[in-house]
Amino acid sequence: MNVRFGAFEVDLEGRRLLKRGMPITLREQSFQVLAALMERPGEIVTREELRQRLWSSDTFVDFEVALNSAVSRLRDALGDSANAPRVIETIPKRGYRFVVPIAKRPAVAVMPFANQTADAKDDYFSDGLADELILVLSRIDDLRVTARSVAFRFKGQRWDARQVGRELGVEAVLEGSVWRSGDRIRITVNLVGVKDGFNLWAQRFDGNLGDLFGIQDEVCAAVAEALHVRLAVQVREKRPSDMRAYVQYLKGAHLLKKRRPADVRRAFEYFQEAIRLDPDFAEPYYGAAMFYNVSAAYGALPPRSALPEAEDLLAKGLALDENSTRLHSTLGMLRVFQWRWAESEQAYKRAISLEPANAFPHMAYPILCSFLGRHEEALLHAIKAVELEPLDLMTNFRLLQANYYSRRYNEAVRTGRIAIELTPDSPYTCFYLALSLAELGLKDDAWGIANKGRKLNDGLPLGEGYFGYIAGMLGHTAEARSVVRELEARRAGGYGPALPIAWTYLGLGETAASFQWLETALAERDPFLGSAMVFPAYDAIRNQPQFHRLAEQLKLPT
């Protein structure tokens, strides 16, 4: 999103300030001040609000001096003056105000479409249609679209458009219903103004599945016209030629959002079927590749066999559509797991440049930044992902994880508790919250949360390794040794990753055994070895020559 005032243009996504098209150098903290003020033009933004935005609670800085310097540098860049402000006004002892008028972009919320088909299992279709409309409408520069995770919390509830408008701060609500029987579909769509609750536009579509994309385009055009915004949306170049493939894709995407292992496995089967039905449809390739990425990371499949499968799928998908944000984001994740850091960076930056308002690449990118020790950058993207999808499981988890890796344990606990409140069934949120609590010496709380995470984990090796490490470091030796026995038994009966065993031995303080298993994990190319320089579990062995050799082979910055 770009905002213009006077001779200046602010690229909020790219974090750039331009004057008559020429970039002006501006430090990150000064840009954050500018962004905060522009979000609420004409309103006072307090110094305390700016402190919370610019510095975490466990950052030690002379706040008054640092904020004054950031504002002073910003004024210099804008050619503004504190004595005769034309852009930023100082409100003594309170804060600052952006005094230049900014045209407000209209906003719309796409609500979950009602499934009027008799079978509730067809929710994937009505939800998928709403998802696609959110995605396409989000590409309109002059329109704000409420995040899916926010709008979908109204699913299954009775709601009033005026109430939703006040709560979400939008001018209009797009609601609809879907009926489907075989290839026949009926879609009813209403665009409701929130001021008076009257319809701005309404339409009923009766047709076949083959008409679906035309219906989506017509809805988007009508929304843009009703809200007086310019429709500058590019229709996908590669839409499926076989609508059966699109239906299978919607089923897979619906299940993939749940992120439970059984759901991811079933989603993979739907993506495979979509590819079989229409090999030239690009999007299912990202979902199938995600299955292999996730399975390798969680320890369900050997990386040496799973990651090449993901590589092949992504190569085919990108050959079909080189402008797919999902495919580039998934490629970035794969490259992290392959320890190919520069190529991962390239893929993530490409994804973000394609769709700056898409939460997926902002959510995935922080793990690369964290592994490379670029913690401020990791946090910026994690915060951006939460802003774009504030109630999503993975965006909130990634913010917790980025805080933990940067050793901001108080902030990790704060964000972790929020994440668990939003998504209480996430095992890895529990594990990272427990790790953070343990670092703060809150052992009882850490142990309770760790046990909750283990119950949710379904026995996946990665989660067992986190639990084993926490058990060992908290003095629950019997539980830690039980984890080691179980994980070693898995290796005797088939594949089981070595890294979770190494972590458990680190928790127990048995460094010789941990190094033995780390060497095995290196030989097996475990994806999460990339955390070697930032995971506090390695602190006890970080200065030993064996660990230095390990880091060298990973090509990680020391």
What's the pLDDT tens digit per position in 360-418?
Answer: 999 999 999 999 999 999 998 999 899 889 999 899 999 999 999 999 999 999 999 99
What number of other Cβ atoms are within 10 A of residue 273's Cβ? 18
Beta-bridge partners for 187: 178, 205
CA dist 557 and 211 (Å) reads 52
Integer Cα distance of 147 and 21 in angstroms: 31
Single-letter amino acid, residue 104: K
Mean pLDDT of all residues in 171-175: 91
Tokens of 362: 């902002």
**491 against 61, higher pLDDT:** 491
- pLDDT 10s digits, 484-515: 999 999 998 889 999 999 999 999 999 999 99
Please name the amino acid found at residue 197.
G
Mean per-residue pLDDT, 421-431: 93
Mean pLDDT across the stretch 132-140? 86
Would you state the pLDDT for residue 374?
Answer: 94
Cα torsion 141, 144, 147, 153: sign: negative
114 φ, ψ to 5°? -75, 135
Per cent of the chain over pLDDT 90 is: 59
The H or E element spanning position 537 is none
Instruction: Return the amino acid letter for 390.
Output: P
What average pLDDT does the segment 62-89 reach? 88
Structure tokens at 197: 């609750």
Mean pLDDT computed over 2-6: 76
When comparing pLDDT for 132 and 501, which is higher?
501
Instruction: State residue 136's pLDDT score.
Output: 85
Overall average pLDDT of the 511-536 stretch: 96
> Coil, strand or helix: which one is 377?
helix
Do the Cβ atoms of 291 and 265 come closer than 8 Å?
A: yes
- Report helix, strand or coil for 97: strand
Spatial CB neighbours of 326, under 8 Å, sequence gap ≥ 6: 283, 286, 360
The average pLDDT across 435-458 equals 97
CATH architecture for residues 236-356: Alpha Horseshoe (1.25)
Q: Which of 31-45, 93-107, 281-295 has the lowest mean pLDDT?
A: 93-107
Q: Which of 55-69, 133-147, 268-282, 509-523 has the lowest mean pLDDT?
A: 55-69
Q: Give me the helices (H) in 138-191, please.
A: 148-151, 161-168
Residue 118 has pLDDT above 80, yes or no: no
The pair of three-digit structure tokens given for residue 181, joined into one six-digit string: 């029987």
Give CA–CA dist 100/109, Å, rounded: 27
The full set of domain ranges for the chain reads 2-98, 107-226, 236-356, 459-558
CA–CA dist 68, 390 (Å, integer) = 30
pTM for the model: 0.82
Q: Does residue 29 have a pLDDT over 70?
A: yes
Taking residues 326-331, what's their average pLDDT? 97
**Across residues 157-175, what is the average pLDDT?**
86
- Tell me which residue of 433, 494, 431, 437 sits closest to 468, measured CA to CA: 431
What is the pLDDT, as a whole number, of residue 235?
46
- Please list, residue by residue across 213-225, b when 16 or more beta carbons sit within 10 angstroms of its beta carbon and e when fewer do: bebbeebbebbbe
* CATH 3.30.470.20 matches 107-226: no
**Average pLDDT value for the chain:** 90
Tokens read off for 272: 């495979």
CA 533 to chain CA centroid, nearest Å:
23
Q: Provide the CB-side half-sphere exposure for 325 (13 A, CA).
A: 19
Instruction: Give the right CATH number for 2-98 from 3.90.220.20, 1.10.10.10, 3.40.50.150, 3.30.420.40.
Output: 1.10.10.10
How far apart CA 5 and CA 103 sit, in angstroms, is: 10
On the 0-12 / 13-18 / 19+ scale of CB atoms within 10 A, 313 is buried
